Structure 1
Amino acid sequence: MSSSQLNAQPLHCRYHLSGKGIPWVFIHGLLGSGDDWQHVIAHLPAGHNWLCLDLPGHGGSRDVKVSQQAGFAETAALIAACLNQLNIHLCHLVGYSLGGRIAMYFASQYPQYINTLVLESAHPGLTHSAEQTARLSHDQAWATRFAQQPIDHVLTAWYQQGVFDDLTPKQKSALCQIRAHNHGPAIAHMLMATSLGRQANLTPNLQNAKYPIRYFVAENDAKFSAIAKLLTQQVPQLDLQPFPEAGHNIHWAKPLEYAQILEQRVGLQR
């Protein structure tokens, strides 16, 4: 698989843009990088265009910082700058977890770039100020640990959270090894800049969207299955795609099935 890398600002990314069709643009979750999507890309039909971004504080964008007050807006502007630099004017935007929340925000601010929005295990936003305050406090506690403690110790605790209950001890250990390259203070900064507690409720933006929306959720992910069910009631044009025998990180657990569904349900919309 041939690819190129863009190391200069605004964000580090890997891409293949000499193929056919509307590009797939992939946004990873917290602690990840654009490399997380390579197993999915490997199963897409040969010759497709794709772009994998490293978010601020992650991977090759480790030294890129956004402000605590405008983290979503500044991250979206950096993504738009990447697309412009690579002459991408329309894309299938795919985002997982934090990447899904950023994708939702980006689509709300830059809808002209969106052919299809694909959200994986992504929260549209909290609706009550008490929930937002509680989430900020929760994220601040984790950010303090990431900033001050050895990354391997924090990762071990991170993957004990309920949202990762579907993972076996062996899988959790593997993820800890994969994520151990992260720089704790950079992760802490991005965690607080894009906390769910700072995110606006983006459900109204989804309701008013003029592009198709796909929501990928794992049947074993109880929290996000409930969120997905509510979204299908609130957003008529949202198409729900459940994945059996998978947990929160679907593309990591089932890259082949993920790629097949992307191609079948999204890729035909060119």
Structure 2
Amino acid sequence: MSSKATLIGNPIPLSLHCHYHLEGNGTPWVFIHGLLGNRHDWQHVLRSLPPECNWLCLDLPGHGGSDKLTLTEGKGFTHTADLIASCLNQLGITQCHLIGYSLGGRIAMFFAKQYPQYIASLVLESAHPGLVSEAEKAARLSHDQAWAQRFSHQPLHQVLTSWYQQAVFRDLTQQQQNRLCQLRQSNQGSAIANMLDATSLGRQPNLTPSLQATPAPIHYLVADSDTKFSTIARQLAQQVPNLKLHRFTEAGHNIHWAKPLEYSQILQQLLSK
């Protein structure tokens, strides 16, 4: 696995920290992690890819090697999309298969709206296309800002313990929750707070219309046990003719963490067509 492209002191400075393997002419797969994650979240998926596959794993602002990046107030999605576009451009990537999980999926949808010319296909894992009513958006923004305050001011281990007790992570065993809390201890609470507020679902536009207008293939990956996002996935499949739904069993909200081998195999089937 190549380890290149740091923000400072690198021969090839990029807008975002990342790991990548780019050789030959194959269309690269670009992976975007979720909140609290980083580029290493995809390592078990990458191990199952054929050696000729090109890939790029980004660190979002506030995460991993990009943790010193602060998003412009009120322009979190636009700023992040611009940073991703700059990174792709710097690496000479003109088209990619864009794969995003949860927050990363929401950013991927927004990126596809802003920069459709880069999208060969779009793969969304457990990602919300956006709320419709202003009341829902206001309630969600208040909810996310409360969490952001906790990340900013409380001990990180304490906030993480509460975070993974949310309903969306109910499939996790106590041991798995503890493991994730350990993995996420390297984050900076204030950096996570900035990203959480700046890219809150309450600030996100409803991206369903832009998905409907996307000419590239769209795939939505969801686990049957993830009740909330299974419902979202079914609704999207009805609203977006170009979207194909793919279900997983024995997994929860984070499918690539629970079943990396099957996840990799599905991606290879989808993106080789």
TM-score bin, normalised by smaller chain: over 0.9
Which aligned pairs between 1:128-167 and structure 2 lie closer than 5 A? 128-167=133-172
Aligned to 1:176: 181
Point out where structure 1 has 5 or more consecutive residues left out of the alignment: none
Match of 2:199 among 194, 200, 212: 194
Letter in 2 for 1:224: F
Contact 1:68 1:192 in 2 (8 A): no
**Distance in 2, Cα, partners of 1:7 & 1:84:** 16
Contact 1:216 1:241 in 2 (8 A): yes
Aligned to 2:6: 7
Aligned to 1:29: 34
TM-score scaled to structure 2, two decimals?
0.96
Aligned to 1:227: 232
**Distance in 1, Cα, partners of 2:42 & 2:157:** 23
Which aligned pairs between 1:70-219 and structure 2 lie closer than 5 A? 70-219=75-224
Q: In structure 2, the residue corresponding to 1:66 is in which secondary structure? A: coil
Q: Deviations over 1:3-32 (max 9, x none)?
A: 131002411000000155210000000000
**How many residue pairs get matched?**
267
Q: Deviations over 1:47-89 (max 9, x none)?
A: 2100000000000000011123000000000000000010000
Runs of 4+ in 1 over 2 A off after TM superposition: none
**Distance in 2, Cα, partners of 1:53 & 1:17:** 14
Question: Is the alpha carbon distance of 1:4 and 1:20 closer, same or farther for their aligned partners in structure 2, counting shifts above 3 Å?
Answer: farther
Contact 1:20 1:48 in 2 (8 A): no
Contact 2:215 2:242 in 1 (8 A): no
TM-score scaled to structure 1, two decimals?
0.98
Cα RMSD for the two superposed structures: 0.8
Contact 2:106 2:127 in 1 (8 A): yes
**Distance in 2, Cα, partners of 1:22 & 1:10:** 21
**Distance in 2, Cα, partners of 1:17 & 1:209:** 26
**Distance in 2, Cα, partners of 1:27 & 1:68:** 21
Query: Please, which moves more after superposition, 45-54 or 197-206?
Result: 45-54
Q: Deviations over 1:80-137 (max 9, x none)?
A: 0000010000100000000000000000010000000000000000000000000001
Question: Is 1:67 equivalent to 2:72 in the alignment?
Answer: yes
**Distance in 1, Cα, partners of 2:256 & 2:210:** 25
**Distance in 2, Cα, partners of 1:161 & 1:189:** 20
Q: In structure 1, the residue corresponding to 2:54 is in which secondary structure? A: strand
Point out where structure 2 has 5 or more consecutive residues left out of the alignment: 8-13
Q: Percent identity?
A: 65
**Distance in 1, Cα, partners of 2:24 & 2:150:** 43
